[in-house]
Structure formats: C-alpha cells, structure tokens
C-alpha cells in the first residue's frame, strides 16, 4: 500500500508506510526521522510572503510582476541590514496570514515544510536570514528564530490595582538584588513556579504566541518584565537560560503513537483480495479494543491484525507526531490532550477503521 507524498514534503520510503492511504496527506509521519527512538529536533522561523500578478488565484491584483516583486523583497533585505525588524516588515508587507502576527511560522521538525524552507531552516544559524526564495506561491524571505524561551514567574492573585502595586514592589526588590526564587516561593500563587524556585515554563514557539508566552519570546535574557496583567492574575517574568529546567517544565508538542488499521473491501487502498465487509471490520476492531483493555499488549495485537504492511512490520509503531503538522487527521488531535497510555475510540476513515494508542 503506497502513500503519495504530500506536495513539497519529503517522500517516505514505501517500506515505512503506515495507516495505509489514510495518511496519504501525512506521509511525513513515515519518514525514518520520526521512527527513531529519540524525539526529532525542531526549529522555528519567521516568513514574509509577497505576491505578484503572475500567480494563480490571487484574491486581488498586486500591480507588479515577478521581477518587481523580487526587487521589493530585496529592498526589505536592505532595510533589515539597516536595522528594521523582521516582525515589523512582516506586519506591513507580508501577504501571508501570519504576517499580522510578525510572520512567525511556528516550530517544525525536518520534513514537515516545503523542501526550500527545510533546506534553509535546518542549515541556518539562529538569526540568519535566507536568500530571496521564488516559487509557485510567490516570493519569500525566511529568518530562523529561537525555538524555546524559558521563564521564571511570580504570579499574584487577581487583577486589582492592589495586585499591580504589589507586583511593582516585588520588581523593585528584584532590581535591588533580591532572589527571584525566594520571592516566588513566598508570593506566587501559581503552584508550578512556587514549588520550583520560580521556574515556570520552557515555551516552544508557535504561530501566534500571546500573553505570557508572547511576552517570554520578546523579553531579553535576565531582565525582569512586568507587571503583566492577564485573566489569570498579575505576573512578573524573567527570561533565563533553559539549561537547568527539568523536562516536565518544557512545552512538548510531540507525542509517540502506535496504531492499528483494520481495512475492508470498500476501503481506499484495501489489500488485494481482501473480502472483509465493513461490518466485519467493525467487529474485528471492537475485538482488538477488548483485547487491549483486557491487558493484552497493543503492539503484539498490531503484529497480528494490522492491515497496513509497514505498520504490521513495526508492530503498529507510527513514531513521533508533531502537533503542528498541518495535514494531521482530526482524530489524531485528541491524543495530544490525552494521558500516556490512552487508547482512542475506533475512528471510521476512508481507509478503514483505526484505533490509536499514545505511548
């Protein structure tokens, strides 16, 4: 059962296909990088997109051709060299929906973006700007940005003027040399920062980071920031090196997943000669679920019942799956909110019936 690679994504070796044609649009999940024991590396970048009148299906005329658009983008590069910020230029010029938020594309592992994006992102240093890229979607400029921001926090209860005044007093103490961890232990109402000597979170860059997370990425290292008022209270932040933050405080958008596909004769990509009806497939997947819930090993069952050859060979193992995969089937999303060990309810798909388990 072969799965076609999604446009612009790294083709997967047919020997590593999983969930059959269900994952035609997410064949990156089968890439060997995502089947390794270690979690794949992720990187982040900003993007500016310019359109020109030679492109198809534009929402409105741009009144410039490709050459003029390239010239405009090159002028933006000059402005960056003169001190303009990438985010400001993205907000003013980018035609992409991310432009209004400063052009952040978020965070991705290798293979999830178009090859020309990947080629830049996974060879560039933080802060490096790409050459002007021209393709069928327009004219592009990319910048690699930091992926993680670690913050200490003191959170005060409520949003009253009294809480704001208290935050300003604490900031004055911090500026005078007070220990952030000690003040967090004494004053923070957030249980995480209170119990961890002020350490709160290591955030991973998203497309549109706001409030505490947005402030964390904008903050310079080792500077006190606040008072920041959110619906949760009044906050004081300090961005720090994430090196000594325990793993449980890192935002992690990867999960490791196994799955079983039970196909039927009318399913997309069904194995040749399969005579199982959809009702029979439903009965079989229900039996699989009963076996797992009764304590049988999921991967042993996958080695017997999986109708996806690659998944059968790997005893159901699908590898690492990242939350920002734009082509991820909807029912995968439930696993990101589920506890490790969770088994999904069977999902009816064009390729058959699927059950997933989060490692």
CB of 235 closer than 8 Å to CB of 154: yes
CB of 69 closer than 8 Å to CB of 51: yes
Tally of structural domains, the chain: 3
pLDDT cut 70: percent of the chain above it: 89
Range of the domain at 137: 40-145
Cα distance between residue 263 and residue 305, in whole Å: 10
CB of 52 closer than 8 Å to CB of 66: yes
Q: How confident is the model at residue 231 (pLDDT cuts 50, 70, 90)?
A: very high
Average pLDDT over residues 331-358: 86
Residue 134 sits in a domain whose CATH number is: 3.10.50.40
Burial of 294 (0-12, 13-18, 19+ CB in 10 A): exposed
Handedness of CA 291, 317, 339, 356 (dihedral sign): negative
Residue 3 falls within a domain, yes or no?
no
The least confident of 20-24, 40-44, 283-287 is 20-24
The tokens for 92 are 């003013």
* Of residues 208 and 310, more confidently modeled: 208
Please choose, from the candidates 120, 121, 115, the residue with its C-alpha nearest in 3D space to the C-alpha of residue 135.
115
Q: How confident is the model at residue 6 (pLDDT cuts 50, 70, 90)?
A: very low
Q: What mean pLDDT, rounded, does the chain reach?
A: 86
The pTM score is 0.75
Q: What is the pLDDT of residues 169-201, one digit of tens each?
A: 999 999 999 999 999 999 999 999 999 999 999
Burial of 81 (0-12, 13-18, 19+ CB in 10 A): exposed
- pLDDT over threshold 80, residue 227: yes
- pLDDT over threshold 90, residue 4: no
Residue 302 falls within a domain, yes or no?
yes
Residue 325: per-residue pLDDT: 73
- Single residue among 218, 249, 280 that ends a domain in this structure: 249
Residue 318 falls within a domain, yes or no?
yes
- Single residue among 117, 145, 173 that ends a domain in this structure: 145
- pLDDT over threshold 70, residue 24: no
Q: In 94-235, which ranges are continuous DSSP H helix?
A: 115-121, 161-175, 180-187, 191-195, 211-218
Same domain flag for 83 and 105: yes
Same domain flag for 327 and 236: no
- Local structure of 129: helix, strand or coil: strand
In degrees rounded to 5, what are phi and psi of residue 259? -150, 160
Residue 241: per-residue pLDDT: 95
User: Please, what is the angle between helix 161-175 and helix 180-187, to 10°?
Assistant: 160
Average pLDDT over residues 59-77: 95
Three-state secondary structure readout of 240-307: ECHHHCCHHHECCCEEEEEEEEECCCCCCCCCCCCCCCHHHHHHHHHHHHHHHHCCCCHHHHHHHHCC
């Amino acid at each position: 059962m072969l799965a076609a690679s999604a446009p612009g994504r790294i083709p997967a070796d047919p020997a590593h296909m999983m969930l059959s044609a269900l994952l035609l649009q997410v064949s990156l999940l089968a890439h060997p990088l995502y089947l390794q024991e270690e979690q794949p590396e992720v990187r982040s970048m900003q993007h500016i997109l310019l359109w020109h009148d030679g492109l198809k299906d534009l929402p409105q005329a741009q009144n410039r051709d490709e050459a003029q658009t390239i010239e405009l983008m090159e002028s933006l590069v000059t402005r960056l060299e003169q001190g303009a910020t990438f985010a400001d230029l993205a907000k003013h010029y980018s035609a992409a929906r991310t432009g209004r938020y400063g052009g952040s594309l978020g965070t991705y592992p290798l293979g999830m973006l178009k090859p020309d994006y990947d080629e830049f992102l996974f060879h560039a240093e933080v802060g490096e700007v790409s050459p002007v890229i021209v393709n069928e979607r327009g004219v592009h400029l990319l910048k690699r940005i930091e992926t993680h921001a670690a913050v200490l926090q003191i959170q005060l209860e409520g949003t009253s003027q009294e809480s704001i005044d208290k935050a300003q007093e604490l900031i004055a103490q911090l500026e005078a040399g007070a220990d952030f961890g000690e003040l967090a232990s004494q004053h923070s109402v957030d249980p995480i920062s209170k119990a961890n000597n002020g350490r709160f979170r290591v955030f991973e860059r998203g497309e549109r980071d706001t409030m505490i997370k947005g402030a964390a990425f904008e903050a310079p290292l080792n500077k006190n920031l606040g008072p920041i008022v959110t619906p949760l209270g009044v906050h004081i932040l300090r961005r720090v090196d994430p090196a000594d933050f325990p793993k449980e405080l890192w935002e992690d958008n990867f999960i490791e997943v196994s799955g079983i596909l039970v196909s039927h004769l009318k399913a997309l990509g069904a194995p040749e000669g399969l005579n199982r009806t959809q009702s029979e497939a439903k009965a079989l997947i229900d039996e699989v679920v009963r076996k797992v819930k009764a304590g049988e090993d999921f991967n042993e069952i996958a080695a017997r019942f999986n109708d996806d050859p690659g998944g059968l060979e790997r005893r159901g193992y699908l590898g690492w799956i990242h939350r920002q995969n734009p082509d991820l089937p909807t029912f995968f999303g439930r696993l990101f909110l589920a506890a490790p060990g969770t088994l999904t309810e069977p999902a009816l798909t064009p390729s058959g019936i699927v059950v997933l388990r989060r490692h």
